Amino acid sequence: MLLVRDWLQRREADKAERTTERIVFDVFRGRAGASLTTRPDESTLVQVVSPDGRTVLAATPPARDKPPLASVNLATGTLLVDRRACPASIPGCAWVFGLRVANPSPWPPGAMVITAEPLPSLLNVWGLPLSLVAILLVLLALVAWWTWHTIGRAFAPVDRIRRELAGLDARDLRRRVYVPRTHGEIQALGETVNGTLQRLEEATDRERRFISDASHDLRNPIAGLQLQLEMALDEADEESRPLLRSALRDTERLNDIVMDLLELSRLDSRAPQPEEAVDLGEAARREADRRSDGVRITARVEPGVAVRANPVRIARVLGNLMSNAQRHAESSVVVTVRRDGGTALLEVQDDGHGIPPDQRERVFERFARLSESRERDPQGTGLGLPIAREIAEIYGGTLTIADSDRGARFVMRLPLVPDAG
């Protein structure tokens, strides 16, 4: 602002000085008359003041009928006036420049030619920097928008890679992320991510193959061992029977673990299984009737609730849920199958102690077992509920634990067969 003010003030002072010098030169050359001209700026104020500074001898039209512009006492013999002044006869302030006129001249000896150039007002002084500020703000806004737009376009592939990574399923690592052809760091990022996914898929496949192969290889020896123990138990004497029964139970538990691991391997690999329309209510009733030992199971089923799935896997889900309910129930288990909008709803509820809300997701983790579960069934594997949830998710459904007044209530939802509703 100081620079702008000084520049404008110096500009007006130079104009006043040049105008005065030109008029004095014209007088000296004898070209000046009783009328004054301030070409090219007709708004400049010019006066010829008497030697005592009291009388205006000549003036340009804008300066006529105005008192002398210079307030100094010219009678003292001042030869030069060059300063800022604010006379009451003009609005605002002006830069005043005056020179004495030598003889011969149209005016008395010692007359002074005074030029006043109005100085810009405060509004005019502020106008330039404010205009510059406005232009700078517009430019900054354009730069900001262009930067945001350019960076947004540059990082759009990164955001796409992030979204695709977030959508990857740990059980299906065959998908790959988008690789932009930018020939730069972002392309290298996409290629690195896909390389990592490739190595992860290969490692996961090796793990699944190992579990599957090991499970298959263990099934035959375990089945043979179980058969031999059963035959030995039939022929054993009373003294060795408890030991053989214990060994047979351990063998059965080992067989259950191997079967669960084999099923998990199949589920993780998403190996295709034949599907058909399964009456969920009838399957639940058959599973409940089959479990005549232990806690009584009551089946309340709505007819015609059909889902599309593999019958063996549905039977495994029902068996796992009912087995879990029987282990934790005090006296009864209720199995309910009904329609709920466009889904088939299966509820398995026991009257046991229930599951705390903060532990409801933990029971679906592989090999996770709560303390009460370990006390009631030390031989459990901790894989039944995870297998049941994964089967439900494979067929587009869910398996959760809902609130209940007493005990635990497992709720599975599966899409209905279109013509079943």
| Interval 272-329: pLDDT, tens | 778 899 999 999 999 888 887 778 888 899 888 999 999 988 998 998 899 888 888 8
318 and 353 together in one domain: yes
**How distant is the alpha carbon of residue 281 from its chain centre?**
45
- What pairs with residue 336 in β-bridges? 300, 347
Q: Is the CB of residue 299 less than 8 Å from the CB of residue 264? A: no
Burial (CB < 10 A; 0-12, 13-18, 19+), residue 273, is middle
Low-confidence winner among 100-114, 308-322, 323-337, 405-419 (lowest mean pLDDT): 100-114
pTM: 0.53
212 and 239 together in one domain: yes
Position 14 in a domain = yes
Position 136 in a domain = no
Structural domain count of the chain? 3
CA-wise closest residue to 414 among 348, 346, 343:
343
Other CB atoms within 10 Å distance of the CB of residue 322 = 25
Low-confidence winner among 35-44, 114-123, 406-415 (lowest mean pLDDT): 35-44
Q: What is the CATH number of the domain that holds 6?
A: 3.30.450
**pLDDT for 334-370, tens place per residue?**
999 999 888 999 999 998 888 888 888 888 887 777 7
248 and 327 together in one domain: no
Quickly tell me which residue has 């896997």 as its tokens.
313
389 and 285 together in one domain: yes
Q: What is the CATH number of the domain that holds 401?
A: 3.30.565.10
Position 168 in a domain = no
324 and 391 together in one domain: yes
Per mean pLDDT, which of 7-16, 218-227, 239-248, 341-350 is the most reliable? 341-350
Gap between the Cα atoms of 416 and 81, Å rounded: 104
* Mean pLDDT (the chain, rounded): 82
Residues 6+ apart with CB under 8 A from 299: 281, 284, 285, 288, 289, 335, 337
283 and 415 together in one domain: yes
234 and 352 together in one domain: no
> Last residue of a domain, which of 76, 93, 120?
120
Position 170 in a domain = no
What is the domain extent for residue 105? 2-120
Position 116 in a domain = yes
- What pairs with residue 416 in β-bridges? 307
Position 213 in a domain = yes
Gap between the Cα atoms of 207 and 205, Å rounded: 5
Q: What is the CATH number of the domain that holds 236?
A: 1.10.287.130
Query: For residue 282, what pLDDT is reported?
Result: 92
19 and 108 together in one domain: yes
240 and 343 together in one domain: no
Position 126 in a domain = no
Residues 17-29, mean pLDDT to the nearest whole number: 83
Q: Is the CB of residue 260 less than 8 Å from the CB of residue 269? A: no
Q: How far is CA 143 from CA 153, 154, 377, in A?
A: 15, 16, 69
> Last residue of a domain, which of 220, 238, 269?
269
Position 164 in a domain = no
Q: How far is CA 264 from CA 166, 211, 386, 396, in A?
A: 23, 9, 9, 17
113 and 228 together in one domain: no
**Per-residue confidence at 34, pLDDT binned at 50, 70, 90?**
very low
287 and 412 together in one domain: yes
Gap between the Cα atoms of 353 and 339, Å rounded: 28
Query: For residue 419, what pLDDT is reported?
Result: 67
3-state percent breakdown (helix, strand, coil) of the chain, nearest 5: 50, 20, 30
290 and 264 together in one domain: no
Output 385 or 43, whichever has higher pLDDT: 385
The pairing of beta strand 94-100 with beta strand 276-279: unpaired
> Last residue of a domain, which of 250, 269, 288?
269
